Structure 1
Amino acid sequence: MQLLQLLISGVAQGCIYGLIALGFVLIYKATETVSFAQGDLMMVGAFSGLAAMTLLGFPFWIAVPAAIVAMGIFGVLVERLVIRPILGQPAFSIVMLTIGVGYVLRGLITMIPDVGTDTHTMPVPYAGEVLRLGALVIAAEQMVVIGATGILCLGLFAMFKYSKLGIAMQA
Structure 2
Amino acid sequence: MQLLQLLISGVAQGCIYGLIALGFVLIYKATETVSFAQGDLMMVGAFFGLAAMTMLGFPFWLSVPAAIIGMGLFGVVLERVVIRPILGQPAFSIVMLTIGVGYVLRGLITMIPDIGTETHTLPVPYANEVLRMGGLVVSAEQVVVIGS
TM-score range, shorter chain: over 0.9
- Using the aligned pairs only, state the percent identity: 86
Letter of the 2:67 partner, please give it.
A
Question: For 2:61 and 2:116, how far apart are their aligned partners in 1?
Answer: 26
Q: Name the SS of the counterpart of 1:120 in structure 2.
A: coil
Aligned to 1:103: 103
TM normalised by structure 1 equals 0.86
Structure 1's unaligned 5+ residue stretches are 149-171
Q: CA deviation at 1:12?
A: 0.2
Q: How does 1:14-163 map to 2 (within 5 A)?
A: 14-148=14-148
Shift in Å, 1:116: 2.4
More off after superposition, 109-118 vs 7-16:
109-118
For the residue of structure 1 that corresponds to 2:131, the secondary structure is strand
TM-score by length of 2: 0.99
Classify the secondary structure of the residue corresponding to 1:33.
coil
**Matched positions, count:** 148
Q: Distance in 1 between matches of 2:44 and 2:76?
A: 14
What do residues 4-30 of structure 1 show as CA deviations (whole Å, max 9, x unaligned)? 000000000000000000000000000
- 1:118 aligns to what SS in structure 2? coil
CA distance in 2, matches of 1:137, 1:104: 42
User: 3-state DSSP class of the match of 1:115?
Assistant: coil
Q: Structure 2 regions of 5+ residues with no counterpart? A: none
Give 1:117 shift. 1.6
Amino acid aligned to 1:112: I
Please list every run of at least 4 consecutive aligned residues from structure 1 whose deviation after the TM superposition is greater than 6 angstroms. none
